[in-house]
Amino acid sequence: MNRKNKDFNPNNCPVTHFMNKIGGKWKVLVVYGIEMGHNRFSTLRKVIPHISKQTLINQLRELEQDRIIERTVFPEVPPRVEYKVSKYGKTMWPVIVTIQQWGLKDMRRGLKK
């Protein structure tokens, strides 16, 4: 799989590096969903209802390729696949929680207007 912006960072910027790993519309939601216990493809589709099947597949593959999540295939019939946030991926958790807290505050502020 070849991603267009994966290594784009002409100024060696740490923010650009982070956004290349987890930026975009869906990746943070996918990581958040997995960390909240929605560790199967079908349950992720339920908690992120507007993501297309193919987009979810692509995002999971990219997150796995970047070692942010781990994929386990259980040798059953039918095969069962589960995802978990890797040790490396968990290092991003404080950033995701900060984003969540900011979003909650901003949403509340918007309700007060």
- May I ask the CATH architecture of the domain 14-112? Orthogonal Bundle (1.10)
Half-sphere exposure of 113 (CA within 13 A, CB side): 6
Q: What is the Cα–Cα distance from 35 to 85, expressed in whole angstroms?
A: 6
Query: What is the predicted pLDDT for the residue at 113?
Result: 64
Q: What is the Cα–Cα distance from 55 to 51, expressed in whole angstroms?
A: 6
3-state secondary structure the chain: CCCCCCCCCCCCCHHHHHHHHHCCCCHHHHHHHHHCCCCCHHHHHHHCCCCCHHHHHHHHHHHHHCCCEEEEEECCCCCEEEEEECHHHHCCHHHHHHHHHHHHHHHHHHHHC
- Model confidence over 35-84: pLDDT tens digits? 999 999 999 999 999 999 999 999 999 999 999 999 999 999 988 999 99
Domain residue spans in the chain? 14-112
Query: What is the predicted pLDDT for the residue at 8?
Result: 79
- Model confidence over 82-105: pLDDT tens digits? 999 999 999 999 999 999 999 999
